[in-house]
Amino acid sequence: MEGIVGAKLLHGSSEVETSKALQGGVVALYFSAHWCPPCQGYTPQLKKVYERAKREGKLFDVIFVSSDRDEASFRQYFASMPWHAVPFSDRAKEQALKMIYQVRGIPSVVLLDGATGSLVDANGRGKVMEPGFVASLPTTQDLALAKLPSPEGPVPVTIYHHGREYEIECEPDEGYEMLRMQIFSVTDIPAEQQRLFGLGQAKGVLNEQVPLPRALVRAMAAQKNTGYKVAGVPKEARKASSNEFPEEQWHAAGGVLTSDPGWGWVHKSKDDNPWYQMDLQEVRKVAGVVLRAGADHVAWVKKFRVCTATTEEGPWDAVDAGREFSGLSGLMLPEVRAIFESPVETRFVRIECLPGGLDRRSLRADVLLADDKDQDKPPTIVVLGNFSADDPFENMEAAQDNAQTKMIEEQHLAMLQAKLSNAQPRLQNQVNSLQGVQRYESRALQKQALAEIPVLGIDESARSSSESYELAFMRGLLRWYKHDFFSWCNAPKCEHCSSGNTKTVGATQPTREEQYFLAGNVEVAQCNLCGLQTRFPRYNDPGKLLETRTGRCGEWANCFTLLCRALGYEARHVHDWTDHVWTEIFSDSLKRWVHADSCEAALDAPLMYEKGWGKKLTYVIAFARDHVIDVSRRYTQKFDDLLPRRTEFSEQELQRVLGAISEFSTDRSLVQVPEATASQRRAALERRAKEEQDQLLGRSQEAKEVKAEEQVGRTSGDAEWRSQRGELGATAAAKEKALELSETGLEGSSAPSSAAKAEPEKAPASRDPQAAAKQRFAELVASGLSPNEAALQVIQEAKKAAAEFKPPQRP
């Protein structure tokens, strides 16, 4: 690369050697300038891609090649960039690079092979913004593993499939085809339907471009030190610097390491030096500690040190001279085993949390004993096929589009349009929703989705559950998605100063690039700190949402339904005409469709909207790749009360139109399927449709028991927004519970209430005034006051409290 960009590069204000600065993966030459408006819009987007690549350990470097008119402008612009730059003084290099790569406009991105300098893509501006770009980059682990020797002879491998465990012996040189045949022999999942995860790869389907011997080397490296035995320190032998939850109200796992993602220890926000301590009852030889994430908190211990002592009074000695260990990186990801340089004889082991992340951190932990170390565990593979037995072609590779297929589809569409020509426009427009669910069938898009999901961790939690595997896996997926993947956006963070103190002030038209990712409109937010504006495109492309990972219910349900399809669930995208969206998945164990709301982390709680939120539902329509159906009856206890609100068209007209659209979707989905498979699928759809109608019509919905989680108001979005929409709660109790569960969603509805969890404040000074004011504001809005009235009352109460407050006397 020195021969292309020069021997020296700038990084911040320092000059660095090119050979040491670049990692050797993919290098992007970024041609841009401060004076260029399109560049100013593109740079923040490129920055997001770059930062994501770095977070995921990808080998990706960017080199800024400036077209600025003077060095002052260059330095001002470069100060906002986290990557390298060609020195501005080397104008000849800038001109040479533009000439070599034929750069005729800016912004422009040229992608190079970092190891050889060869051209990868001369027009990479759009490519780096594609959802699958970061996933396609090599990792630092790939380079490290290349130096390890290949395994000799057969390697034992543990196979997990839908909660069952199998053992096979894998011959490295026989390749993936033979491996899939072995998996078929124990699981009965045909090779073409197998989704394989693991072999040391934390996320994503196995990359079969990596030779199997290399993948097995990676897998054995990942299992290193798994032979150390866990001490199993009992709960009563644990203590901490502080507890957010009183010890007597901890869940059974309260900080204890279990296979289930239980409730971990969380320290108080005012604890500046938090620690978690375990007592082995006697002096033992300790090899290290093991950490897992808890389910109750979204911030984990990311960095820590370990101290030991033979008595609780000390002295406490820092292990490995105060070495800083890397901690947890996310929910459902593999446990962290921190192994000491040499075993330590001790009785007390203390984990000291180091600064990083939010002001409260969570963990579950135990001690690893050096005595009687077992052999390390074998590499593992998790196999997912189709969750539904009625969907035999779920993961078959779609045939390439051809002229005949397109002609048949156009004929079917023309016939459908003729059938619907007399229907009302809103009913005719339901055809457009099919295009959205059809996107979920893209194999490339599904692969990108699977690259994000921690299947190994979700599988482990599902295997320890008493529920059926498919439902337990879905519950884990919902928990991870809400707490560790997608985020709610009331208004976007300022892209200029990163402040969250912004407010939506209007809307504008999407750019051509935003339109490419199906943004129908763009909200504009203004920062209350720097005064600058940030765009919030409302993307409808689920692939783009895998990258942005933020939005409101439309974005949440869109991306989540893609994940369900990628994992092999039969899934529906459900449209509530009173402005909400969610997912349904088919459960073979329950023999019915099951409601799943990713915004609320809710599973099988269909009455939550009516009984909890207080919504007055009208039409609820579900769209699958091969059928469309009105599922309104599932979401109401009294359909007769809902019926008078369905006034836009007659029930007969609704069923006629949905029936025609459903028939079209079935025909289209089976165009490229063998006749025998198509007949089998049609028969399954007809049988299920009859069973579903019997379920919805065959017994009184009034007899349905309303679950506790269905009596909670909306938990997603800020309290003011929920209140304005009339969704904060149908009753005072529903509103109170919704405010309590605003961070956890419905998965926390069975947890002890926050009032019960919190320790009593000892003095007004120990409270966070800002948090208390926000909580009081939310309570007043929930009680029926307008936002302005609530704000005024909060101010008046604060003034009164300040006037009455008397500081405690010194002893």
Residues with catalytic roles: 553, 580, 597
Planar angle of CA 659, 662, 667, nearest 5 degrees: 125
Contact 177, 194 (CB under 8 A): no
Contact 377, 578 (CB under 8 A): no
Contact 397, 192 (CB under 8 A): yes
State the residue for tokens 């405690």. 808
Burial of 163 by CB count in 10 Å (0-12 exposed, 13-18 middle, 19+ buried)?
middle
Alpha carbons 173 and 319: distance in angstroms, whole number:
42
| Token representation of residue 26 | 């993919």
Alpha carbons 512 and 683: distance in angstroms, whole number:
44
Contact 530, 521 (CB under 8 A): no
Q: Are strands 155-161 and 380-384 parallel, antiparallel or unpaired?
A: parallel
| Token representation of residue 250 | 């901890």
| Token representation of residue 445 | 């898009």
φ, ψ at 690 (rounded to 5°) = -65, -45
Show contacts of 696-702: CB within 8 Å, 24+ apart.
696/631, 696/633, 696/634, 697/633, 701/633, 701/636, 701/637, 701/638, 701/639, 702/637, 702/638
Nearest to 623 by CA among 444, 470, 430, 442: 430
Nearest to 563 by CA among 395, 396, 446, 391: 446
Q: Are strands 550-551 and 487-488 parallel, antiparallel or unpaired?
A: parallel
What is the DSSP track for 489-515? -SSPPPTTT--S-EEEEEEEPPPHHHH
What is the DSSP track for 780-801? HHHTT--HHHHHHHHHHHHHHH
Radius of gyration of the chain (CA): 29
